[in-house]
Amino acid sequence: MIFQGSSSCRIRGVSTDSRKIQPGELFVPIEGPNFDGHQFIRQALEKGAAGSLFRTGWEQKADGVEGFGKFLIQVEDPLKALGDLAHFWRGRHSRVKTVAITGSNGKTTTKEMAARALSTAFRVLKTEGNLNNLIGLPLMLLRLSDEHEVAVLEMGMNLPGEIRRLQEIAEPQVSLITNVGRAHLEFLGSLEGIVRAKGELWEGLRQDDWIAVNADDPRVVELAAAVHCRKKTFGIRERAEISAEGISVEAAFGTRFSLKLEDQTMPIGLHTFGRHNVYNALGAAALAAILGLDAEKIAAGLDGFQPHPGRGRIHSLGRGLHLLDDTYNSNPDSLEATLAAFGEMKGDSRGLVVLGDMLELGPGTADFHDEAGKKMGALRFEHLFFCGEQREHLADGAKSAGMEESRIHLFADPEEVAGSLESRAGEGDWILVKGSRRLRMERIVEALIERLGKI
């Protein structure tokens, strides 16, 4: 309902941040546990916003903005209204093919790979940064313009129902669940709850929609079996339409493999490590193939891929040291994949591992960290550096697996790690830093680069 102003008012964009609002934009006041955007409506209008939404009940406080000559629109829920507005705008650009990607691990890297491959043939809009939730995804969709041909959208979640709502907003014709693993257990309760939540992406699909199916993930295969639409499979172990063979690792480069698609085989080199990144590349290849790209174009897009900081990027430092930065996030499955990749990269060199807490694991948090400690202790790394609230559980696990206590180092504050690690690192060592982003483990990476120098 228009509370103030005229229905003929025009807007140039949409923002939820009063600090970054641009003249002519619509301000959407989002409410959260520790903030209420309604407190900043006046500020947004003063900075040039054309108008603002507001939730029912706030109109009693609207008198203070009447003099600005701006419009105010009353809605039941500004967050839902933001999604509805994005859905409407997406409908205005129905010729754009929309690709949606979710999963427990690898969704951001797969999104980047898919956008890179698809950009060889289409004008692509892709999710930027962490704009993958109920606020960010609508803001991305609202950037659609006549110049775009494909939108590659990442969908994240913490709670049941969130992926369903994102799917309703974006209405993707092509979608992918990268894998289903042990992430967000605190909010979803069990692995079965995670399966149901990720499966929301594939609810209500039409027969002419497409899904890309990881043939090597039994949970994804089970979800796909219940969906009646067009499908394209990818995998390494199981038979699939898109596959990889000849996977090899080069310490100074990354991972090489041959992409097999129909009767074509194309070599691809990724500046990243680990079989999990080959799966990410295959998922991206499946999405691109669904949209009509052949193996040659897909390989041209994927070849030379380098991950963003914090997502498996390698840094070459002074004294012949190499640093694997995997600080964006951590859960039991991503840790296992990263440790396997780290083992491949370092080869016979010494390995030093810095690990912070894995978050959102619920009541089993201590057990998950004890298990992680045991795995690292069994791998016989030269030194282990544990920081965060779960450091004692990680250390107990490592010691129970036979790791000498003198090679286990505990820190409450990640800021203290770099100095201790620098004094113990030797020429040619490999260093892994991994943890959940809330711990800001990237500060350790930044400190090591500053202390040791980047080559």
Q: Which of 45, 134, 144, 37 is nearest to 84 (CA)?
A: 134
Checking if the pLDDT of 3 tops 80, the result is: no
Residue 378 pLDDT: 94
Q: pLDDT-derived band of residue 4, with 50, 70 and 90 as boundaries?
A: confident
Please give the backbone phi and psi of residue 352, each rounded to the nearest 5 degrees, phi first.
-120, 130
Q: For residue 422, give Cα distances in angstroms to 351, 382, 416.
A: 13, 13, 11
The confidence score (pLDDT) of residue 131 equals 94
pLDDT per position as a tens digit, 386-395: 999 999 999 9
* In contact, 175 and 164? CB cutoff 8 Å: no
46 versus 117: which is more confidently predicted?
A: 117
Residue in 389, 384, 391, 387 with CA at minimum distance from that of residue 431:
384
The domains found in the chain, sorted by start residue, are: 2-76 (3.40.1390.10), 82-302 (3.40.1190.10), 313-452 (3.90.190.20)
Give the pLDDT of residue 123. Answer: 98
How confident is the model at residue 67, as a pLDDT?
54
Per-residue confidence (pLDDT) for residue 66, from 0 to 100: 57
Average pLDDT of the residues in 272-296: 96
pLDDT at res. 413: 83
pLDDT given for residue 10 in this prediction = 82
Cβ-contact 214, 237 below 8 angstroms: no
Q: For residue 22, give every residue at least 6 positions away whose Cβ sits within 8 Å of its Cβ, in sequence order, or none.
A: 12, 13, 15, 48
pLDDT surpassing 60 at residue 381: yes
> Once rounded to an integer, what is the mean pLDDT over residues 362-368?
91
Amino acid at 305: F
CA 161, 167, 171: angle at the middle one, nearest 5? 160
| Contacting residues for 342 by C-beta, under 8 A, at least 6 apart | 273, 324, 351, 353, 430, 432
Q: Which two tokens stand for residue 253?
A: 């480069």
If you search the block for the tokens 């930027």, which residue do you land on? 128
% pLDDT > 70, the chain: 95
What confidence score (pLDDT) does residue 184 get? 54
Does 145 score more than 80 pLDDT?
A: yes
**175-225 pLDDT tens trace:** 999 999 766 555 555 778 888 999 999 999 999 999 999 999 999 999 999
Sheet strands side by side (includes 124-126): 124-126, 150-154, 97-102, 174-177, 210-214, 230-235, 242-250, 254-261, 264-270
* Cα angle value 121/127/129 (rounded, 5°): 130
Per DSSP, 307 falls in state: P
Residues β-bridged to residue 27: 15, 52
Average pLDDT of span 91-115: 96
Residue 228 has pLDDT above 80, yes or no: yes
Q: Per-residue pLDDT averaged across 322-342, rounded?
A: 90
Q: Which residue bears the tokens 């982003």?
A: 437
Least confident range from 5-14, 108-117, 317-326, 330-339: namely: 5-14
Which residues fall within 8 angstroms of residue 119, CB to CB, at 6 or more apart?
301
Q: What is the pLDDT of residues 70-82, one digit of tens each?
A: 889 999 999 999 9
302-313 CB burial, b ≥16 within 10 A, e <16: bbebebeebbbb
Confidence bin at 415 (pLDDT 50/70/90): confident
- The pLDDT, as a whole number, for residue 33 is 83
pLDDT of residue 139: 97
> Considering only 11-15, 78-82, 289-293, 410-414, which range has the smallest mean pLDDT?
410-414
Residue 158 has pLDDT above 90, yes or no: no
Query: Sign of the CA dihedral 80, 195, 156, 188?
Result: positive
pLDDT (0 to 100) of residue 188: 57
Mean pLDDT, all residues of the chain: 92
pLDDT reading at 7 higher than 70: no
